[in-house]
Chains A and B, each alone.
Chain A
Amino acid sequence: MSAPRRAAASRSFLSRLSLRERIRDRDQAVYGILIIAAIVFPLATIYATDGTALVSQATRAGYFVLLAIGLNVVVGFAGLLDLGYAAFFAIGAYTYALLASPQLASSPAHHAVHLPFWLMLFVAMFVAAGAGAILGFPTLRLRGDYLAIVTLGFGEIVPQLFYNFDQWTGGINAVGIIDQPVLPAWIQGPWSGDGPIQVVRNFNFGGDPVAFYVLICILIAAAVILVSNLYRSRLGRAWMAIREDEVAAAAMGINTVTTKLLAFGIGASFSGFAGAYYAADVSLVSPDNFLFIVSITVLVMVVLGGMGNISGVIIGALVLYYVVFSLLPSLPGAVESLANSIGLGSLNVRTTEWPGLGGETQRLTFIIYGAILVAMMLLRPQGLLPSRIREQELKHAAVQEEEAAVEMEHAT
């Protein structure tokens, strides 16, 4: 009962904030908030914590955002369910890791390769897109969820292959000591070296989270611009047509196989992009980092944020990243110290029967995560910020009702 009313209230707040521009400019508002947040976040956290751990976490959230934007092209725009998206992520990461680390020196090739990061970003992108095309070509004519199963199978096979060919990839021992991105020396300015702002030290990223943070922000911005333009292009409309009704789309003269293949390839290329970035940032690439759970997490981000809507997907990725990688892991400690501070410290004492409040919370995290997912989907089945077109289709009547409510509030 209260859900629509609450939505109406927040909407009225939003519309006042953006001076009655209404929902039409919701995306702009979200992007504006995101840009401001992206600039304020590092400054605020570095000032507040006197360290860069939170910025480093934000860079991690960043590559999930990239992955979610890419998967959104496949799932949200073209309506193809991809359950093996992490495979392309793995392909991108390994492409950079193998060609920019000492790894190949101990392989049958006997020569380490060190190609520059900026080149490899694009190479990884094309390799992943190529893999997407190779997988997609024979399988995209499959209907419905059969495609999902093919991608699932692909997602299972790829990490296992990286594991099995251990002569080349080091197998489970992972590829380590991956080269850091180095800025060309001609990019001089106050942001580099010993300059006053000093964002990038000595032209070498050298594990500096702030440098990676700036890089991922630029990459995300580029991805958003690219995907938004694609969405508004002829291709974007073709994707939408296929999503809504494949037979009708084909009848309208759309080449469904090519169109789907493009969605698949473009989606995969973002994953490859993110993979190369990831390999440079973490400097360690192991087959264990690309399991099914990663594909699932990214898919949840896309659906949770609002399929088909880029700004929604970004919000979804950030929210879910925060829940899974920051909130849940820190919950036991937080609960423990909360109990201490309100005088229930005795709950923290471990006994044979009771693992301590922190331990108990630790055991509860799976349940909490599951409950959060179910609750979020039940409350907002269309996602946090659904695509406007879809929203209008699905909730035409409801929107009218809400708008009426907004008008009423304005009138009073």
Chain B
Amino acid sequence: MVRARGLIVLTTAALVAFACGGTTGGGGSKGTIKIGSDLPVCTIGGQATANGVQFAVNQKNAAGGVEGYTIAYQSFDDCRQGAYNADAGVDNVRKMLDDKAFLGMIGPYNSAVAKAEIPIAAPQHFTMISPANTNPCLTKDIAGCSYHPQDLRAGNQNNYWRVVTTDDYQGPAMATYAYKTLGIKNVGILDDSTVFGVGIAGSFEAQFKSLGGTVAKHSEYKKEQTSDFKSILLGFKNAGALGVYVGGTDDQNICIPRKQMKDIGWAVPFMGGDGIETSDCIDQASGNEPNIYATSAGADATQVDGAKQAIADFRKAFTGPNDFGGYTMQAYDAANALMAAIGRAVKNANGMPSREQVRAEFAKTTGFKGVIGTYDFDQNGDTSLKIVSIYIVNGGLSDQAIKDSTGVCGSKTKNACFVWKTQFDFAKPA
């Protein structure tokens, strides 16, 4: 009985959603094309990424939509009980596939979710563009992967692209920087047991060792199991480490070890991937912020024409302290690239295009001018943009320096911000 009542609620909600889709879609447009996103919006990072998509869609609709069509954006949440969940992601993709108006999606955020979703979306030629998946196995058939990317797509044409460079660039960039520029020959590595953390820490370790460095110890922790990192850090210190590399994200408390390094009186550089290039990381490290080194996939806004303006516009529209995250602009780019492909498909089809047409058009994307750079996609779905930027937290910045900074600042310690240092371009032979 309760179940039946629930169905009614659900149906009513769906009807209401339809009705309002209709009203916002009015105003002389040819109709509505939907794009979805599948992100863990219960987390800060997931919501900040969804904001990027929302912003791109708002901008596009304000400028008249795509070839006369209004874009309706729906954000699906793949969280269950507070954390991302592959089942939930699969359910969301099925919901989108059921609605013919959905021509593509942004997401997912977590590589494990992508692994479950691609096999469902591929047979329907449903375009997926991830702003954040960095696990190389999703697109590349390389050693160490437990599956082949072509198996994921089950013989269909590629339907999955990503605008971020893979872990196999971010990790090595920091390894090279640490070994060659900082002169650190011995590190301790800590990962947060997530797909992202394990992957990026592994690629750092491989490159660091191949350069001739020593890994004192590689430890891992789980957020819900470990609150005190001092024993782990002491292990690193006693094994002779002169730096710490962390693979992980701030929502897994990856920067709390930075604070605790001070508690055990150990002052060495603290390095990580884009998961720590966030204000939450600086907050977690409270009291020991300086000399956190972070990589970020993509070029810094100061290195790309027009990017600064887009970020400033975004910040004007989304003013909350956590609205802007490490993948917001990647999502913004992904949404714009998708809408551009939809636009071309509309033109070709002279009307509402099919999913296959959108997919085929997206595959032809070349020279896309985004906020994180200008790039193409290869046939596997990877971006040609292989730039990795390096940021360092400087404490005690002046007001003007904070205002000019493209990196994020802490919310507690206002004058500690990530400052762009240098970039590695893996597309160019070194």
A and B touch in the complex (CB under 8 A): yes
Question: In this complex, which of B17, B81, B86, B146 has the most chain A Cβ atoms within 10 angstroms of its Cβ?
Answer: B146
A177 contacts B11, CB within 8 Å? Answer: no
Q: Does B305 contact A (CB under 8 A)?
A: no
Question: In this complex, which of A319, A332, A340 has the most chain B Cβ atoms within 10 angstroms of its Cβ?
Answer: A340
Residues of A within 8 A of B (CB): 37, 48-53, 56-57, 60, 102-103, 105-106, 163, 170-177, 207, 209, 282-284, 286, 288-289, 293, 297, 315, 318-319, 322, 324-327, 329-330, 332-334, 337-338, 340-341, 350-352, 355, 359, 362, 366
Chain B residue contacts of A37, Cβ below 8 A: 3
Q: Does B263 contact A (CB under 8 A)?
A: no
Chain B residue contacts of A338, Cβ below 8 A: 13, 16
Partner of B13 from A53, A172, A330, A352 at Cβ < 8 Å: A330
A52 contacts B116, CB within 8 Å? Answer: no
Closest B residue to A45 by beta carbon equals: B7
- Alpha-carbon gap, A325 to B100, bound state (A): 24
For window 226-264 of B, CB contacts with A under 8 Å fall at none
CB proximity of B320 to chain A, nearest CB, Å: 6
B94 contacts A52, CB within 8 Å? Answer: yes
A333 contacts B319, CB within 8 Å? Answer: no
Q: Does B115 contact A (CB under 8 A)?
A: yes
Partner of B120 from A48, A207, A319 at Cβ < 8 Å: A207
Partner of B9 from A171, A315, A327 at Cβ < 8 Å: A327
- Can you name 20 extra interface pairs (CB under 8 A) apart from A284-B115, A362-B77? A37-B3, A51-B94, A51-B98, A103-B147, A106-B144, A173-B137, A173-B195, A173-B198, A173-B199, A174-B115, A175-B146, A176-B115, A322-B6, A325-B88, A337-B16, A338-B16, A341-B19, A350-B320, A351-B319, A366-B82
A-B contact pairs, 14 of them (CB 8 A): A49-B14, A56-B91, A56-B94, A60-B87, A172-B198, A207-B123, A284-B112, A319-B3, A322-B2, A322-B3, A326-B6, A327-B9, A330-B13, A333-B17
A176 contacts B94, CB within 8 Å? Answer: no
Closest B residue to A332 by beta carbon equals: B77
B193 contacts A163, CB within 8 Å? Answer: yes
Chain B residue contacts of A315, Cβ below 8 A: 2
- Alpha-carbon gap, A175 to B90, bound state (A): 16
Chain A residue contacts of B98, Cβ below 8 A: 49-53
Given contacts A337-B13, A362-B41, A173 and B91 within 8 Å (CB-CB): no
Q: Does B209 contact A (CB under 8 A)?
A: no
B95 contacts A53, CB within 8 Å? Answer: yes
Chain A residue contacts of B187, Cβ below 8 A: none
Q: Does B402 contact A (CB under 8 A)?
A: no
- Alpha-carbon gap, A286 to B85, bound state (A): 10
Partner of A341 from B14, B16, B74, B147 at Cβ < 8 Å: B16
- Alpha-carbon gap, A354 to B120, bound state (A): 36
- Alpha-carbon gap, A355 to B83, bound state (A): 20
Given contacts A53-B91, A171-B198, A177 and B152 within 8 Å (CB-CB): yes
Q: Which 5 A-B pairs have the closest CB atoms?
A: A51-B98, A334-B13, A53-B94, A284-B116, A53-B95
Q: Does B20 contact A (CB under 8 A)?
A: yes
Given contacts A53-B95, A318-B3, A173 and B151 within 8 Å (CB-CB): no
Chain A residue contacts of B312, Cβ below 8 A: none
Partner of A106 from B19, B42, B146 at Cβ < 8 Å: B146
- Alpha-carbon gap, A341 to B24, bound state (A): 11
A340 contacts B20, CB within 8 Å? Answer: yes
CB proximity of A150 to chain B, nearest CB, Å: 19
Closest B residue to A207 by beta carbon equals: B120
Chain A residue contacts of B112, Cβ below 8 A: 172-174, 284, 286, 288
Interface size on B, residues (CB 8 A): 58
Q: Does B304 contact A (CB under 8 A)?
A: no
Q: Does B404 contact A (CB under 8 A)?
A: no
Given contacts A170-B146, A322-B6, A352-B319, A284 and B99 within 8 Å (CB-CB): no
- Alpha-carbon gap, A350 to B2, bound state (A): 34
- Alpha-carbon gap, A324 to B82, bound state (A): 11
Partner of A56 from B13, B14, B90, B137 at Cβ < 8 Å: B90
Q: Does B68 contact A (CB under 8 A)?
A: no
A329 contacts B97, CB within 8 Å? Answer: no
Question: In this complex, which of B77, B90, B95 has the most chain A Cβ atoms within 10 angstroms of its Cβ?
Answer: B90
Chain A residue contacts of B146, Cβ below 8 A: 102-103, 105-106, 170, 173, 175-176
- Alpha-carbon gap, A366 to B194, bound state (A): 24
- Alpha-carbon gap, A173 to B113, bound state (A): 10
CB proximity of B13 to chain A, nearest CB, Å: 4
Question: In this complex, which of A209, A289, A333, A362 has the most chain B Cβ atoms within 10 angstroms of its Cβ?
Answer: A333
Given contacts A350-B320, A362-B42, A284 and B86 within 8 Å (CB-CB): yes
- Alpha-carbon gap, A359 to B41, bound state (A): 9
- Alpha-carbon gap, A5 to B14, bound state (A): 35
A51 contacts B115, CB within 8 Å? Answer: no
CB proximity of A350 to chain B, nearest CB, Å: 7
Chain A residue contacts of B193, Cβ below 8 A: 163, 172
Residues 172-216 of chain B: 1 if any A CB is under 8 Å from the residue's CB, otherwise 0? 000000000000000000000111001100000000000000000
Q: Does B269 contact A (CB under 8 A)?
A: no
Closest A residue to B83 by beta carbon equals: A288
Chain B residue contacts of A57, Cβ below 8 A: 91
Q: Does B119 contact A (CB under 8 A)?
A: yes
- Alpha-carbon gap, A175 to B199, bound state (A): 15
B2 contacts A319, CB within 8 Å? Answer: yes
Q: Does B426 contact A (CB under 8 A)?
A: no
- Alpha-carbon gap, A71 to B194, bound state (A): 30
A102 contacts B20, CB within 8 Å? Answer: no
- Alpha-carbon gap, A174 to B87, bound state (A): 13
Chain B residue contacts of A207, Cβ below 8 A: 119-120, 123
CB proximity of A90 to chain B, nearest CB, Å: 14
- Alpha-carbon gap, A284 to B118, bound state (A): 12
Chain B residue contacts of A366, Cβ below 8 A: 82
Given contacts A318-B3, A329-B77, A177 and B119 within 8 Å (CB-CB): yes
